[in-house]
Structures are given as C-alpha cells and as structure tokens.
Amino acid sequence: MTRRTRLARRAALTCLLTGVLMPTVAPTPPASAETATATATATATATDIRTGISGTGQCTFPMKKQYEGVPWALQRVLLDELWRTTKGKGVRVAVIDTGVDNSNVQLKSAVDAGAGRNFLKGGKATDGTLDEVGHGTKVAGIIAARPRKGTGFVGLAPEATIIPIRQNDEKNSGDEDTMAKAIDHAIAEKAKVINISQDTEKPLGPDSALARAVRKALDQDIVIVASAGNDGLDGRAKKTYPAAFDGVLAVAASDRNNERAAFSQPGDFVGVAAPGVDIVSTVPRGGQCSDNGTSFSAPYVSGVAALLRAEHPTWTAEQVIAQIQQTAERSINGRDDYVGWGVVDPVRALTEDEAPINSPSADPGPPPAEAPEVTDLAIGETPQERDKRYATYGIGAAVVLITVVAGAAITARDARRRRSHHT
C-alpha cells in the first residue's frame, strides 16, 4: 500500500450501516497530505458482538468551502426562541464514537480535549480528538458546534461541552467491551448526556458488560441517547443495542416530510425520531459536509437533551426523555414503531416545560361529537294534532250555527214585514 493510499484511507468518511461493517474504501488520490480525501461504502453483517457506526453518505475533508445557508434541519427550528433562556452552557455531553477532531474551528472551544479518551490502538490513550473517519466529528458538531461567520450551520446546544471518546473506527474495531469502558469514562468525566451513534443487532442480555455499563450510567442520572440503526429498508421491526436497553432513548431517522427515512430501523424500542437525511455538520480539519443516517438523528436529540439539562438542572434523566417524547410532532395520537412518539420538536420541548413529567402519554385527540337530537316519530295522530282538529271542528260548527241563526232571524223578520203590509 502506498503512502498516498494510506493517507486516503485515514481520511475516509465511511458509508456505514449496522452490525459488523466491512467498508470498501475507494480512495481518491490527494494533491497533498493536507488535502487527502476519500470516500467509502459499506455492507453490513451481524455475526459477532462488534458495533457498527450508524451513518451513511459520502463527503470529503477538510472542506475548504463552508456551507453558506441554513441547513434544512435547522430551518425547522426557531433558534431565537429555542435559545431564549439557554444554549446549553455547563452541560457536558460525551460523544462515544470515532473521536472528535477539535481542529475544526467550530469545535475548538466546544471540546474538552483533556477529558477525552482513546480506547483503540493507535494514538495516545488520553487523546479522544483523533478522528480518522470523521463520523464522531460530525456527531459532535450537530450537538455543540459554535456559530461561525459565513455559515448558517450551528449546533443545537452551541454552549455545551463535548467529551471526545474514541471507541470505534472505519474497521469497526470497537466492541461491547470498549463501549462499556467508554461509558464508564463518560460517567467519570461527569457527563450529563451520552450520545452513542452506533449499534449492533447481536442480542445483549442484562448481564453483558454493555448492559451493566448502561445501568450504571442510568443510576448516575445520565441521559443516554442512541441511534436505532440503518437496516430498516425491509420495514421489519427488530432490536438493536444499546438503543434497545431499558432507559435508553432510541432515535430513528426522519426525512423532510417528518416521515420515517426509508433506511431507519423500526422497532418497539424506538422512542422518538429526528432529522437524519442530508444532515450538514462539521468534518475534521475544517468545514462541513452532509451525511445520512440515524447516527446524525441521535445527536440532534442529544442537543435538545443538553438544553433541557441546562434549563432544568433538577429534572431527572427520565423526565428529560419524557419531555422530548411528549412534545414531539406526531401524526397519530400515540407512538408507533417507526418514529416512536413522533419527530422531536426542539422549541416545544424548551417552551412547553411548565412542569416535569415522568412518562409520555397519548394525545387525547379531538372531543367526541355531540349526539344528534332525535325527533320522536308518532304513528297516527298526535295529541296536539287531535286538539287542533277538534278546535277546527268547533270553529266550523260555530260558524255554521251563527249562519243558521242569522238566516232564521232574517227569515222571521221578513215574514213579519209581509204580514204587516197585508193588514
């Protein structure tokens, strides 16, 4: 393998799905080491317990030209209203992923590099800012990218702090054990939200290392947000982990029409959906590009969770999750296996927050229509009709009687006149 190809592979942005992924990298020869670029595709299997990155798409990095407009996923949010009281300051969000490259200017002040950790071979164990894939850098940007002149892209919680944890790569070197260790590290670094944009279809029992780590984090009142996975083209429901663990907020992907993205994995564990198609975010060494997948839906929700944790520091993780689910935009009154309780609505979550709730509930729906007034149907003559008939008869009889009497009186008068005339 040539040095040029190695550099291209290191810069690969993978088109990863779920399970154990074997990416096929198609490198593009770079002009120099600083501008090495590559694209990658992947196919998915599920033969062991390794975790796969739940993102798809193609882009290159660094991107010298910024995305100038406001991405569609942010156009659906009134940011001034969303940030009316908080931008997430003081909330620490752990990104367990492929690392977070803080050389991107929009992430430089967002990342707590000293709190990072690398659980893979290669690089320093204490350095979570090495991201050879770009996946984790995109995830972190959706959560907490700082605003920058010349681009309309910004994170949903642009004052939150990112804890960068490198636990996976384009080879899917991460597994259950490294993810469990990554969660433990997030707990130690005082994370209030943990984002995991990875999944495996391998069933994991309650005694697995990952299940124990998840329970430990939940016991520490940490919100755990995980991607549901991208193996949903067949529409069949199935569980993926860690998203399907009790207490974890599993996030499906929605499209521009607030419907489930075709690739998004459905299942009874799905809690909510968020934009996951053509999602713009930061890439290593600068700039932004767009990508697809539930990997980028999960941090959208993590950003909202960070805002809620800043706004309501006394709310429990369970209450934060319930608030996100209860205020989601729904096409039905309750939940379904495709988008859970609906598509997350950041502004509603932060403004319809008068009191905490412990679980979401179905909408009451419109009130039932009033029953129509039923008119009694009478067979034959009603009493009213009979009285009216009798009254008509009475009037008629009176008229006849008066006519007869008047006629008799006139006849008698005429008779008297004739008699008087003759005499």
295 catalytically annotated: yes
Higher pLDDT, 412 or 378: 412
Same domain, yes or no, for 273 and 192?
A: yes
Per-residue pLDDT at 123: 76
Rounded to the nearest 10 degrees, the angle between the axes of helix 209-219 and helix 176-188 is 20
Domain boundary among 335, 351, 367: 351
Catalytic residue among 54, 254, 264, 295: 295
Confidence category of residue 7, pLDDT binned at 50, 70, 90: very low
Q: What percent of the chain has pLDDT over 70?
A: 84
Q: Is residue 423 part of a domain?
A: yes
Catalytic residue among 54, 101, 131, 135: 135
Per-residue pLDDT at 379: 61
**What pLDDT digit, counting tens, does each position of 103-124 carry?**
999 999 999 999 999 999 877 8
Q: How far apart are CA 141 and CA 398, in angstroms?
A: 99
- Residue in this structure with the two tokens 């996923």, named with its chain if needed: 73
Q: Is residue 342 part of a domain?
A: yes
**What pLDDT digit, counting tens, does each position of 198-221 carry?**
998 888 999 999 999 999 999 999
Higher pLDDT, 275 or 398: 275
Q: What is the rounded average pLDDT of the residues 14-42?
A: 31
Nearest to 132 by CA among 4, 10, 32, 9: 10
Q: How far apart are CA 92 and CA 143, in angstroms?
A: 11
Same domain, yes or no, for 393 and 292?
A: no
Same domain, yes or no, for 279 and 386?
A: no
Per-residue pLDDT at 398: 79
Same domain, yes or no, for 329 and 392?
A: no
Same domain, yes or no, for 405 and 345?
A: no
Per-residue pLDDT at 390: 76
Same domain, yes or no, for 138 and 275?
A: yes
β-pair type (249-254, 288-291):
unpaired
Nearest to 53 by CA among 285, 415, 298, 410: 298
Per-residue pLDDT at 378: 57
Q: Is residue 28 part of a domain?
A: no
Same domain, yes or no, for 204 and 337?
A: yes
**What pLDDT digit, counting tens, does each position of 396-423 carry?**
777 778 887 777 777 777 777 777 766 5
Domain extent for 145: 48-351
Domain boundary among 351, 367, 391: 351
**Is the per-residue pLDDT at 250 higher than 80?**
yes
As given in the structure block, the two tokens for residue 109 are 């002040």
Q: Is residue 79 part of a domain?
A: yes
Same domain, yes or no, for 405 and 331?
A: no
421 catalytically annotated: no
Q: Write the DSSP assignment of 109-169 as a string of letters.
A: TTB-GGG-EE-SSSS-TT-----SSSHHHHHHHHHHPPP-TT-----SSTT-EEEEEE---
Output phi, psi for 76, to 5 deg.
-80, 0
As given in the structure block, the two tokens for residue 108 are 């430089």
Per-residue pLDDT at 368: 78
Per-residue pLDDT at 4: 36
Q: Is residue 356 part of a domain?
A: no
Q: Is residue 30 part of a domain?
A: no
For the chain, what is the largest distance between any 2 Cα atoms, rounded to a whole number of angstroms?
160
Count of the separate structural domains present in the chain? 2
Residue 378, classified by CB atoms within 10 Å of its CB into exposed (0-12), middle (13-18) or buried (19+), is exposed
**Is the per-residue pLDDT at 317 higher than 70?**
yes
Same domain, yes or no, for 294 and 408?
A: no
Q: How far apart are CA 288 and CA 141, in angstroms?
A: 9
C-beta atoms surrounding 383 within 10 Å: 8
Confidence category of residue 5, pLDDT binned at 50, 70, 90: very low
Q: How far apart are CA 225 and CA 222, in angstroms?
A: 10
135 catalytically annotated: yes
Same domain, yes or no, for 317 and 416?
A: no
Same domain, yes or no, for 266 and 402?
A: no
Q: Write the DSSP assignment of 156-220 as a string of letters.
A: SSTT-EEEEEE---TT----HHHHHHHHHHHHHTT-SEEEE-EEB-S---TTSHHHHHHHHHHHT
Q: Is residue 247 part of a domain?
A: yes
**Is the per-residue pLDDT at 353 higher than 90?**
yes
Domain boundary among 351, 373, 394: 351
**Is the per-residue pLDDT at 127 higher than 80?**
yes
Q: How far apart are CA 217 and CA 244, in angstroms?
A: 15
Per-residue pLDDT at 377: 60
As given in the structure block, the two tokens for residue 12 are 């690969």
Q: How far apart are CA 276 and CA 355, in angstroms?
A: 30
Q: Are 322 and 359 in contact (CB under 8 A)?
A: yes
Same domain, yes or no, for 158 and 62?
A: yes
Q: List the CATH number of the domain containing 96.
A: 3.40.50.200
Distances (CA, A) of 143 to 16, 133, 250, 365, 381: 20, 18, 16, 33, 78
What rounded mean pLDDT belongs to the chain? 85
Q: Where are the alpha helices (DSSP H) in 285-382?
A: 298-311, 317-326, 346-351
**Is the per-residue pLDDT at 28 higher than 90?**
no
Q: Is residue 237 part of a domain?
A: yes
Per-residue pLDDT at 58: 59
**What pLDDT digit, counting tens, does each position of 153-199 carry?**
999 999 999 999 999 998 889 999 999 999 999 999 999 999 999 99
Q: What is the rounded average pLDDT of the residues 302-326?
A: 98
Q: Is the peptide bond before 62 cis (omega within 30 degrees of 0)?
A: yes
Q: What is the rounded average pLDDT of the residues 240-260?
A: 97
Q: Which helix (H) or strand (E) holds 398?
A: helix 383-422
Catalytic residue among 54, 97, 131, 297: 97
